[in-house]
Amino acid sequence: MKKKMVSGVMLLMSVTLGLAACGGGKKEESTSSNEDATKFARAVKNEEKAIDGGTLKVAIAADTQFPGVFDANFSSNALDTKIMSGAYESLIKYDDEGKLIDGGPADLEIDVDGKKAIIKLREDLKWSDGKAVTTEDVIFPYEIIGHKDYPGVRYGSKFESIVGMKEYHEGKAETISGIKAIDDRSVEISYIEMNPAIKLAGGVIWGTATPKRLFEGIAVKDMETSDPVRKNPVTLGAFKLDKFVNGESATFVANEHYYGGKPKLAKIVKTIVPTASVVESMKAKEYDTFVDMPADSYDTYKDLEGYQILGDVDNSYTYLGFKMGKWNAEQEGVAYDEKSKMANKNLRQAMGYAINTEAIADKFYHGLRSTSNSLIIPFFKSVHNPDQKGYSYDHKKAKKLLEDAGYKDTDDDGIREDPNGDKLVINFACRKNEEISQALADYMIQEWEKIGLKVELSGGRLMDSQAFYKKLQEDDPEIDVYNAAWVTGLDPAPTGLYGRNSEFNYTRFASEENDKLLKALESEKTFDDKERKKAFYAWQEYAKEEAFAIPTTNYYVIQPVNNRVKNYLLSNKEMDWSKVELTADKPK
């Protein structure tokens, strides 16, 4: 759900040729000037005296507009999240490892034996409009997401672990019996079974409160398009939304009611900048910092004066997904089709072995990506299996897998038929989201052709990101395979992406074994670190074997920051936006 696109014929040609040279299965020396991404600083260095106030100018490199859903209960687009960072703030703070800690808008007490959690609001906590945050506001998002008419994608197994949630969701109860206010600042949540992710951001505890008073008289099914979500959101962060131009820019002003004290900046302006012009904007010093700068054009901006380049391991990855069913809205679950075109495991595995991910990371992204061996990424050090072998570049193995499964070239045209002897054409969906998007798609199609598979772009061309994900959500029949990316959040458990009851499971793969292994990741048994690691290793091995989604590259996040900015950092935890300052009136 992220990254970018531009056009540049010369670069497209050079990258395509560079990868084609790797087509024989031999490892080639890189000709690009690659970086050791682990050496980047995570915080800006600036000892100059700060000015009073000032406006921080933020560019977000993207070739699509942000949808403008300013509420975490309904937003499912990374652009909206990036626009609202600084205004959004998690109800409970978390550290660099994603573990929930005290000191935020609320603190958390966990009773594992009693299967309960207590969320305790800090005293005098206020919304950005100056009204008090209440226990009703803490409970309300659970009532929204759990409601039978909820139109979003957040409901799933983690919500159903709350006592009484299933009955409420099915319309059998008017309230959620397992959630109650125990005094004017404390909310108690009771669970059927405790999940170790309760300790993590993005885990079992929902991350935001919602001002209930603003939604009085608005049906749940209509909330996503309502004014409190689309026009005038009320938030908890250091800044509040002042005005916005639909899909293009948003201006934030300091929140005078922020619990953490008066912010140092007066304003923040965030603007969507097309990736084709983002480097020129950086050269002209039009913005203070650039979010989602394209790694594929890193050489063109890495040495520009006036900017420090920050970097860190990111919690995101690219992957090949294989469509194998549809979403059953009535049953709120995946309807896996064992007779679908991509249901043959050998076919999926062969397509994975046909792609040289090491060459992609090296030649496309200047070393600012790394090859991926697992759907549990290295970002999650405690549960990622570094020793698991991923899908290495091996055409011989790919061809044998296809032969063994009955995919043979029966008419000697160089293209394999399916096991029934019928013509096989695989429709491949790709986003138009970065400069080398077309070259990357062309490379993959070429490599698949070398193992005898006819693969064509869905619709004959790349797709805009919003259209791409809409088609995935709606299970467009023209998509068999797709190249996409996930931002994982801070909870390593992948149930929300690959579980049977997750609408984000775009592959629509489901099996009893997958259900069992995913459930084991979130059982009380895995409060023990050894058991947790064992369970995660088992799912990673199973996911690799089934190949419903094949990870290709892991991200490093790269962000240029102008030398006039102070106290800005890249971190897994939320940055303290109230402490960010400027040392000059305009970018240097």
Return the sign of the alpha-carbon dihedral for residues 78, 80, 86, 87. Answer: negative
Residue 32 lies in a domain: no
- Please name which of 299, 277, 284 lies closest in space to residue 364, comparing C-alpha atoms: 299
Residue 298 lies in a domain: yes
Residue 143 lies in a domain: yes
User: If you ran DSSP here, which 8-state letter would residue 362 be given?
Assistant: I
In this structure, the dihedral spanned by the alpha carbons of residues 187, 193, 195 and 199, taken in order and rounded to 10 degrees, is 30
Same domain, 169 and 104: yes
Same domain, 336 and 386: yes
Same domain, 368 and 467: yes
Looking at residue 75, its amino acid is: S
Same domain, 461 and 507: yes
What was the pLDDT predicted at 34?
A: 57
Looking up residue 190, the CATH number of its domain turns out to be 3.90.76.10
HEC assignment per residue over 244-304: EECCCEEEEEECCCCCCCCCCCCEEEEEEECCCCHHHHHHCCCCCEEECCCHHHHHHCCCC
Q: Is 158 left (phi over 0), alpha (psi -120 to 50) or beta?
A: alpha
pTM of the model as a whole: 0.77
Residue 300 lies in a domain: yes
Same domain, 430 and 529: yes
Same domain, 444 and 348: yes
Distances (CA, A) of 320 to 2, 174, 211: 15, 42, 39
109 strand-pairing partners: 118
Q: What are phi and psi of 212, to 5 degrees?
A: -60, -35
What was the pLDDT predicted at 16?
A: 27
- Please name which of 317, 333, 324, 326 lies closest in space to residue 548, comparing C-alpha atoms: 324
- Please name which of 98, 111, 105 lies closest in space to residue 200, comparing C-alpha atoms: 98
The Cα–Cα gap between 575 and 56 comes to 15
What is the helix (H) or strand (E) element at residue 109, kind and residue range? Answer: strand 106-111
Same domain, 551 and 567: no
Residue 588 lies in a domain: no
Q: What are phi and psi of 170, to 5 degrees?
A: -85, 0
What was the pLDDT predicted at 183?
A: 96
Residue 191 lies in a domain: yes
What was the pLDDT predicted at 10?
A: 24
What was the pLDDT predicted at 13?
A: 25
Residue corresponding to tokens 């201006």:
251
The Cα–Cα gap between 69 and 553 comes to 29
Same domain, 421 and 506: yes
Residue 20 lies in a domain: no
Residues 232/81, Cβ–Cβ less than 8 Å: no
Residue corresponding to tokens 């652009």:
79
What size, in residues, is the chain? 588
* DSSP states of 496-544: HHHSTT-TT-TT----HHHHHHHHHHTSGGGGSHHHHHHHHHHHHHHHH
Q: Which range marks the domain in which residue 160 is found?
A: 93-226
Same domain, 186 and 240: no
Q: Can you give the pLDDT of all 588 residues of the chain as single tens digits?
A: 333 322 222 222 222 223 333 333 333 333 334 556 567 899 999 999 999 999 999 999 998 899 999 999 999 888 999 999 999 999 999 988 788 999 999 999 999 999 999 999 999 999 999 999 999 999 999 999 999 999 988 888 889 999 999 999 999 999 999 999 999 999 999 999 999 999 988 888 999 999 999 999 999 999 999 999 999 999 999 999 999 999 999 999 999 999 999 999 999 999 999 999 999 999 999 999 999 998 888 889 999 999 999 998 888 999 999 999 999 988 889 999 999 999 999 999 999 999 999 999 988 888 888 999 999 999 899 999 999 999 999 999 999 999 999 999 999 999 999 999 999 999 999 998 888 899 999 999 999 999 999 999 999 999 998 899 999 999 999 999 999 999 888 889 999 999 999 999 999 999 999 999 999 999 989 999 999 999 999 999 999 999 999 999 998 888 999 999 999 998 766 789 999 999 999 999
Residue 126 lies in a domain: yes
Contacts 24+ apart (CB under 8 A), 143-151: 143/168, 143/175, 143/176, 144/73, 144/210, 144/220, 144/223, 145/73, 145/206, 146/176, 147/220, 149/219, 149/220, 149/221, 150/220, 150/221, 151/74, 151/220, 151/221, 151/224
Q: Parallel, antiparallel, or unpaired: how do β-strands 581-582 and 481-487 relate?
A: unpaired
What is the count of structural domains for the chain?
A: 3
